[in-house]
Each structure stands twice: as C-alpha cells, then as structure tokens.
C-alpha cells in the first residue's frame, strides 16, 4: 500500500512538473528544467540513502573512475573523427550532380593548410617535425591496429602534400 502511494505521488509530481515546464515561457523553461533535474537527482539520492540502496551508486562511480583515463585518451581522436563526420555528412546531403559544399572543393587535392591541420603542426614546421607528427598519428589510426583505412590515407596524403 505504501509503495502504491509513493508511486502515485511520484507520477503525479512528474505530470505536474511536465505540465508546468511545457506551459512556461521559453526564457524560463531552461531554468525550470535545470532546477527540476537537480530536485529529481537530490530526491533520488535521498530515497536511495533512506532505503539503504546506495551501494550500486558507489559501483557506478568506481566504474566511471576506472574508465576515465581511457575516455580522456580517446579524446585525442576527436579532430580526426570530426573531420570524417563533416566530410561524410556533407556528401550525404548532396543531390546527384551537385557540387560539394564542404571545405574541400576538390577531393583529390589537399591544401597545405588542411594537411597541417590533420597532422597537428604549425605553418613553419620542419621536415623532421612533419615526419615525427606523421609517425605519431599513423601509429594511432593504422588499419593493422584496428584503425581506419580512410584516416590512414588522409594522414599519408597530408604528409605527401607537405613534403612534396
């Protein structure tokens, strides 16, 4: 009986909150959503603590702490992933016979600026710096190590563009 009353109260509060947020003006809606989310999280934590069921929360926190170094190390791939997403995203939006509206107008040629962006080097980089940046990048995304053929080809093309 007590569980039914609690569930009905939670559902009623949720519906009232949804009604209030949906009827709120746009400038106040974001603030209402923020405070509502914070209230739900605090209420859930209080309920878990009161019933003695916080142990799973500690397990989730420990898992997040253990996976955080891998997530942080995976963030270094974001520039390459965004570049691939932009290129494939712009190709999918085109109609047949229509020119690409992306950054590169000629997909066969790569500008020196694009090549430096891919390798992550500055404009005045020496030959050794280019080779070192290429080696570092290709080791990360080489197909033999589970990487992408496309990204490896882009990195190789960037090195070729800058060296000659």
pLDDT tens for each residue of 50-100: 888 888 888 888 999 999 988 888 877 777 777 777 777 655 544 444 444
- The residue with greater pLDDT, 105 or 37, is 37
Give percent of the chain with pLDDT exceeding 70: 88
pTM of the predicted model, to two decimals? 0.38
- pLDDT on residue 106: 53
- pLDDT on residue 98: 45
DSSP 91-139: HHTPPTTPPP-SS-S-TT---HHHHHHHHT--TT--HHHHHHHHHHHHH
- pLDDT on residue 66: 93
- pLDDT on residue 90: 58
Q: How confident is the model at residue 148 (pLDDT cuts 50, 70, 90)?
A: confident
> Which pairs count as long-range contacts for 118-124, CB under 8 Å and 24+ apart, including other chains?
118/80, 118/83, 118/154, 118/155, 118/158, 119/155, 119/158, 119/159, 119/162, 120/79
Residue 115 burial by Cβ neighbours in a 10 Å radius (0-12, 13-18, 19+): buried
Q: How confident is the model at residue 159 (pLDDT cuts 50, 70, 90)?
A: very high
Mean of the per-residue pLDDT values of the chain: 83
Determine which of 9-13, 28-32, 73-77 has the lowest per-residue pLDDT on average: 73-77
Give, for 157, the enclosing helix (H) or strand (E): helix 149-163
What length is written for the chain? 164
- pLDDT on residue 107: 59
Structure tokens at 146: 């589970």
Structure tokens at 18: 């949804």
């Amino acid at each position: 009986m007590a569980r039914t009353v609690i569930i009905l109260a939670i559902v009623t509060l949720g519906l009232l909150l949804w009604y209030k947020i949906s009827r709120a003006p746009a400038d106040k809606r974001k603030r209402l959503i923020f405070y509502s989310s914070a209230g739900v999280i605090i209420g859930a934590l209080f309920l878990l603590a009161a019933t003695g069921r916080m142990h799973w929360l500690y397990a989730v926190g420990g898992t997040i702490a253990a996976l955080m170094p891998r997530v942080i190390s995976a963030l270094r791939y974001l520039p390459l992933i965004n570049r691939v997403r932009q290129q494939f995203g712009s190709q999918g939006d085109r109609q047949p016979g229509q020119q690409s509206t992306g950054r590169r107008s000629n997909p066969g040629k790569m500008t020196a600026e694009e090549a430096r962006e891919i390798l992550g080097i500055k404009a005045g980089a020496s030959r050794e710096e280019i080779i070192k940046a290429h080696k570092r990048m290709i080791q990360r995304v080489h197909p033999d190590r589970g990487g992408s053929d496309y990204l490896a080809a882009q990195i190789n093309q960037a090195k070729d563009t800058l060296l000659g």
